[in-house]
Structures are given as structure tokens and as C-alpha cells.
Structure 1
């Protein structure tokens, strides 16, 4: 880590106010976006709102402990990197939680050097992940989108798509969480600069059919505007 801010977001969850303020100040010098929370429930809400690249989580949190928080996140998300902060007495239970795919656990009190080393490891994992992510986009329920082949797969089995369905998915997956307007989608799929009611109705029908082929709530309708893939 250097003086240039890393292009990642971090959520730091710690119930001890002074410790949290100290490390949030440190993280803010090294990362573009830093969020904080004082308990597990607030942390989960901040996670859902901001979808951070990295989470630093105290295992012993009020309202929702760190393990349960990460377990809830891992139901749909295996890409966010997690560093867990633990007391010596908690390391055994933490080591048993292998399904949570923790990048690192650190025993408190954590020094700046230890945190820096852990974050350097996380940044390396994120950099490697981005290379893969450009080729495949992982969804819920064992679905993923192959970017290069423009193919939707479920458990490695290709899903049958029409040409227009494929074109729409390729556009929506080209920028996750970005809303594409009806105009943009119709121009991209039908190659027309404007559209009549029939085209809009046809688009809505295709989206309806695509939703049946994707995990629930993958395609979001932004009322009066267009559609987006939300992750």
C-alpha cells in the first residue's frame, strides 16, 4: 500500500467507538471509499446499501455477531473480501467457519502493520478477481454470465436464449447496477433510433421471459426509465 488511494471501498464494523474512529481514519487515507458501522445489524444495512469490496468485521458484535453477519452475506455474495478481527478465545470457532471464505483473521489488538499486511493480501486477491470477473459474472443459485461468449449458464449448463434475449443480457451485464433506458436497450437490440409502443411492449415481454431464466430479482425495473442487473 502506498500514498495513492486504492480504488476499492471498505466497510469497517467495530462496536468500540475509539478503535473504530482510529482505524476509519487510517483506512480513509488509503481507500477511495470507507464506511463504518457500530453493530452487526447496522453493518448489514451498510453492506446492502454500499456493496463494499472489502469488509473488516469484529467477530463479537452487538445485535448480530460477525460470523452470522458474514454467513448472511455469503448466501448470495462470495466476492466481497472479509478480514475478521477476533479475540484469542474466539479463534477456534472462527477456524471452523471455513465456508465463509475469509481472506484473513487477525487477533486483537491489531497493529497497523498487521492490518496493512492483511489489506495488501486482499488487494492482491481483488486484482486477480477482476481479471476473472471480466470474463465471467457470478450470479446467485449457480448461475453465471460468460462475457466473452455471451452465454448464460446454470451449473455449467448453457441456457437457451433467443438472439434478442442474448443482446439484452449482453448490454445489461456490460455495466452491473447501471440503469439502461428503454431507448438505449431498443436502439441496441432493434437498431432503431426511436421506438413505438409495439417495441416497448416487445421489450417488456422479452424481459418477462428472461426473468424466468435468471435467478429471482436479477433484473430490476427502474420505474418509467429502464432496466438494470442488480448485484
Structure 2
């Protein structure tokens, strides 16, 4: 395993402990101890996952989260904070965070969450021309979807939405973000279009009925 992780945390003792546990799992670990250093590393290096403290000196975690998620091949981001208010969690997910942990941290839980995120990233590689998930088979090049070995007819946008969510598992997307990514920035419809297509995917595919979750007040995510 050579996946690379960046820990952005100003508490050096905590940062070092996280590093010890993650290195034992075989990860390559890099460190940043303030917002400026974290931003520089995010800009200059490629990481598979970032563990990001929200309350940082010089630049806060929200700014770094935006920076990380603006990259073309954006890494997964697990936010850590001493604050666990619902507003903070929702705000983090709206900015693109993949997970959220409240301090004090359990190292065993942190390692488990990191492992799950890395496995999801590998499974969702967009370079795959053939994707198998449970009873679902997606042939990307021919744009064909099979359920239990039977072809399921999807409209072009239903297929595009399904593929986008498969390639970005466990991430919460607002409806307008999905409109931008799947329909295009110049699409003149409204967010109810997303709701309609999600409903159709759930009706047609058992996989989506079970895995395509509504995050109330935010949007949707494909829960793997």
C-alpha cells in the first residue's frame, strides 16, 4: 500500500500519534502544523486523503477544504474538530468533506474510517471501463447497465448521474452541484430535475434504492 495521507493538525502530539497509527497500516504520511503550511502542501503535492483540523492558526480548515476540493483530482477529506454542532457538520459536507470526526479522537475509529475511504477511492477509479457493485454491472464505454444479468434501460442523463455518483462514492452533493457536474453549468432547469432522476434510478435499480441516500437539507450521496 502506498497511498499518501496529509495530516493538517496544529497539535503536534496528536498529529504524531495519528501518524504512528496510519504508518502501521502502510500509509505514507505527511504533516502540516498550520493553515499556511497545509495550503502549500495541498497546492504542491498529490494526496489520496487529507485529515484536516478545522480550527487552525493562520488559515482555517474551511479554506483548506475548499482548496483541496477545487483540485482536478481532489483527495478525500476527513474533518476533525472539537466542535460537533450540526451546523458545522452540514457546512463541512456542503463544502465537499467526505467524513467528520469530533475530538477527542479514537485512533482505532480513525484508522477504520481512513481505510474505508481509501478502499472507496480505489473501487471508484474513473479509469475503469467495467464497474461491478453488488448485483449491478456498468459497462462504461457502451453505456450499458445490467442488473442481475439483465439490461436495464436508462436515459442518457440517468446513466450520467449514476456514473458520476459511482465515481464519487460517500460524498454528499447538493442538487445544484449535481446539475453543474452532470447537466452542465448552462442547464436552464431547476433542482427538481435532480430529484426526478434520483427517483427514477431508485425505481429502476435495486442498488440505487438501497444505496442512493437522501441527506436531508443538503442533497444526495451514494453510500458505499
Tell me the TM-score normalised to structure 2 length: 0.53
Match of 2:83 in 1: 88
> Shift of the alpha carbon at 1:133?
3.2
Aligned counterpart for 1:74 among listed residues 69, 72, 75: 69
**1:62 equivalent among 57, 63, 76:** 57
Q: Which has the higher contact order (CA 8 A, sep 6+)?
A: 2
Distance in 2 between residues matched to 1:62 and 1:18, nearest whole Å: 16
Aligned residue among 121, 126, 148 for 2:121: 126
Q: Are 2:47 and 1:52 aligned? A: yes
The reply to whether residue 7 of structure 1 matches residue 12 of structure 2 is no
Higher Cα radius of gyration: 1
CA distance in 1, matches of 2:34, 2:53: 9
Unaligned runs of 5+ in 1: 1-5, 136-146, 150-155, 157-231
Stretches of structure 2 that go unaligned for 5 or more consecutive residues are 130-139, 143-156, 158-224
Which runs of structure 2 are paired with 1:176-195 in the superposition (5 Å)?
A: none
Aligned residues of 1:106 and 1:114 also touching (Cα < 8 A): no
8 Å contact 2:39–2:64 — kept in the other structure? yes
Q: What value does the CA root-mean-square deviation take over the aligned residues?
A: 2.5
Give the corresponding residue for 2:110.
Answer: 115
Which among 100, 105, 125 is matched to residue 100 of structure 2?
A: 105
**Secondary structure at 1:31's aligned position in 2?**
coil
**d(CA) in 2 for partners of 1:103, 1:13:** 16
**Cα displacement (A) at 1:129:** 2.2
Q: Which of 20, 30, 38 is the equivalent residue of 1:35?
A: 30
The secondary structure found in structure 1 opposite 2:21 is helix
Q: 1:48 is paired with a residue of what secondary structure?
A: helix
Tell me the SS of whatever aligns to 2:5.
strand
Would you say the 8 A contact 2:65–2:96 is kept in 1?
Answer: no
Partners of 1:40 and 1:66 within 8 A in 2: yes
